[in-house]
Amino acid sequence: MRFLVYVPPTTAHAHPAHHCFSSLLCPSLFGFAVTSSPRVPVKTSHVGHIRPGRREEYCMSQKIEKPILSGQRIKTRKRDEREKYDPTGFRDAVLLGLEKAGNDLEAISKFLDAAGSKLDYRRYGEALFDIMIAGGLLVPGGSIAQDGDKPVKTSACVFEQPEDMESMRNFEQVFIKLMRRYKYLEKMFEEEMKKVLVFMKGFSPKERIKLARMTALWISNGSVPPTVLSVLINEHLVKDNLALDFLLEVFVTWKQEKGLSSLMTALKKGGIEGRLMEFVPPNKRTEEHFRSVFEAVGLADIVKLHKAQASQEAKRDLQQLLLDDLAENRPMKDITLDLKEMAQRSCIPEHEVIGLIWVVVMGQAEWNKKEELVAEQALKHLKVYTSLFGAFTTTARSELALILKVQEFCYENMNFMKVFQKIVLLFYKTEVVSEDVILKWYKEGHSVKGKMLFLDQMKKFIEWLQNAEEESESGEEED
């Protein structure tokens, strides 16, 4: 049996209510389908069933949205609740425990160890280290935070320990044990030290000495990296000489406790060796003052390190000057004057300058990868700079230094292995190097790098020089 219900098109689309009416006439209820078409009936296989694929077209039911409750207060789960940040409450709890421990360092360590399971060290690590270093919570400027009549400071801290190194080492163990037990405190301690060192102006002279000695111990045992000292390069700390005084105390303590080599290694590792002059007040920033201050406290080796570092920087500056002059295509005469002036000002000896020039000059070319072509290219390139080389080979030591640089370069660059003799011959013909220095290089002054290869290359040239020298001597005798 089949049924047909007619719904006029204008009525079916005129109002949403008609859709609802259509949904009420669902075939699942009455066994027939609703259609907006006036003449095309819908065929069903049996009562109450529409053929697959046609149900959505005729059942115009809509998805009903779930109601939203307005004004509902969503309650936070207990596990998501966070206690209010309360550093003063944390301080009070720590001070109470330290008061019970008294001056017994072992008891202090036991209390701090046990308190970590009750007090939130992860959250209050900064406050904890404030108390252990200064005795209470530090405020900007380096003073202790006050809290009415309540106790705000403990004597179980770095600032209240005796100045002698034995007492310092004993209290250092309190920090070591604590950070071994709670490893996450190590990073917090590094950040704490950066803050405390900046606050140094607010500490008393004795407190600064104690802090400097403890800092030396902490850096030397690896509790904090040597890079923390760079925060001392602060305008106000440097100007008032506080940065330099603190640094000197750290260095002296370090040298006494761990030795000079340990100190030197840490300075290089921390990148401080090249910044030592920055700790000196601007109005006293001279090499003479630097030397006198460091030598006065037995740190002459630091002065040597500083000189070596300053020399390296000066050499880099000289090479950069040469690169800039070449880029600007300045005349070789002007380039020579610039280099001589800087070398004299920076106290770079001529035999070192010639090596720097060689490195820059050889770096100016894109060398041919074919060995048979690179010799001609090298000689053509070097001819342009012979006057520059000649200006910085006025001594036998400088000439020998240049030949050794050529030997080293040819050894390290495979394509230049057979070019060594030709380069030396070019320098000989252009009077950059003399025959006496070439003979000295051949007999005793050569390097071990490619020794046999280069000596064999030079053999015929050396024989020619020796024969020419003998002929010259015999000619003089006849005269």
β-pair type (143-144, 138-139): antiparallel
On whether the pTM is more than 0.85, the answer is no
What are the boundaries of each domain within the chain? 85-203, 349-468
Q: Output the pLDDT for position 468.
A: 75
Positions of the chain with pLDDT lower than 50, given as ranges = 1-3, 5, 10-38, 40, 42-50, 54-61, 78-80
- In whole angstroms, give the CA distance from residue 231 to residue 218: 16
**Partners of 379 in the beta sheet?**
none
- Cβ neighbour number for residue 144 with a 10 Å cutoff: 17
Q: Quick one: tokens of 236?
A: 């106000």
Q: Output the pLDDT for position 27.
A: 46
- In whole angstroms, give the CA distance from residue 52 to residue 152: 82
Q: Output the pLDDT for position 429.
A: 95
b/e sequence 341-372, b meaning 16+ C-beta within 10 Å: ebbeeeebebbbbbbbbbebbbeeeeeeeeee
- In whole angstroms, give the CA distance from residue 410 to residue 457: 12
β-pair type (5-6, 34-35): parallel
Q: Are 23 and 55 in contact (CB under 8 A)?
A: no
Q: Output the pLDDT for position 35.
A: 45
> pLDDT tens digits for 19-41?
444 444 444 444 444 444 445 45
CATH of 349-468, one of 1.25.40.180, 1.10.3720.10, 1.10.1240.10, 2.60.120.10: 1.25.40.180
- In whole angstroms, give the CA distance from residue 387 to residue 293: 44
- In whole angstroms, give the CA distance from residue 131 to residue 237: 23
Q: Quick one: tokens of 332?
A: 């070789």
